Chain A
Amino acid sequence: EVQVVESGGNLVQPGGSLRLSCVASGFIFSDYNMHWVRQAPGKGLEWVSHINGGSNDIQYADSVEGRFTISRDNAKNSLYLHMSSLRVEDTAVYFCARDLRDNYSIDRWGQGTLVTVSS
């Protein structure tokens, strides 16, 4: 069964840092592009970042560019999001998501991990 499971969400102060992790199973992780998408409480979806299988094509939303870094370890079937200079507006559930190969969409989502930025 295809699964992605996020972890690492926590309460952090403004200006702080946090690293989210996502472990994948049930598919050949290195064959798939991956994404992070977030959802602020009671709000809609916001795409955050993308990384291809070889980690040589990385994209970010303008709202996180320069503060967040996406990475992956294919040997560990793991995706990461390192977040720094966190702001109150970064408070959200962060979803790890698998790309629908060759079709530019997202076909699998984790349950999400909550990041709360507050003093």
Chain B
Amino acid sequence: EIVMTQTPISSPVTPGQPASISCRSSESLVHSDGNTYLSWLQQRPGQPPRLLIYKTSKRFSGVPDRFSGSGVGTDFTLEISRVEAEDVGVYYCMQATQFPWTFGQGTKVEI
């Protein structure tokens, strides 16, 4: 099983300022097809998760462009260029390169 580790666990942010979350996998997430199946999800309080980024850097439909993903191999980053109040919640990275799919432990973003 691939272990996903996120840092930080908690991130106090200031509206209008950037924020960054890191995710590291215990082994490379490069699939045999050449793609890297790393996603980022946001979970607001009391809500189900919402997909933000898939395949490391592809923004899902309707996601604001202040969210961006990057990374390669085992190291990945989610960046929020200018945090807004509605971005409060817990963010998870998820690998889908190999079963069982696994999540990071979550990063709580709070104002």
Contacts and interface: CB of A to CB of B under 8 A. Distances in A.
Contact of A100 (B35, B50, B51, B100): B51
A61 B1 CA distance: 9
Scoring B31, B48, B51, B97 by chain A CB atoms within 10 A of each residue's CB, the highest score goes to B48
Contact of A62 (B51, B100, B106): B100
A45 B100 contact: no
Interface of B: 1, 31, 35, 37, 39, 41, 43, 48-51, 54-55, 58, 60, 90, 92, 94, 96-97, 99-106
B100 A59 contact: yes
A102 to B, nearest CB: 10
A103 B49 contact: no
A45 to B, nearest CB: 5
Contact of B92 (A44, A50, A60, A112): A44
Given A44-B92, A44-B103, A59-B100, A105 B54 contact: yes
Contact of B105 (A44, A95, A103, A112): A44
Contacts of A104: 31, 35, 37, 54-55, 96-97
Contacts of A47: 94, 100-103
Interface of A: 35, 37, 44-47, 50, 59-62, 95, 100, 103-107, 109-112
B10 to A, nearest CB: 13
What DSSP secondary structure best describes chain B's contact surface? loop
A17 to B, nearest CB: 23
A103 B54 contact: yes
A103 B102 contact: no
Nearest to B55: A103
26 contacts: A37-B49, A44-B90, A44-B92, A44-B106, A45-B41, A45-B106, A46-B103, A47-B100, A47-B101, A95-B49, A100-B51, A100-B60, A103-B37, A103-B58, A104-B31, A104-B35, A104-B96, A104-B97, A105-B37, A105-B39, A105-B55, A105-B96, A106-B49, A106-B94, A109-B48, A110-B48
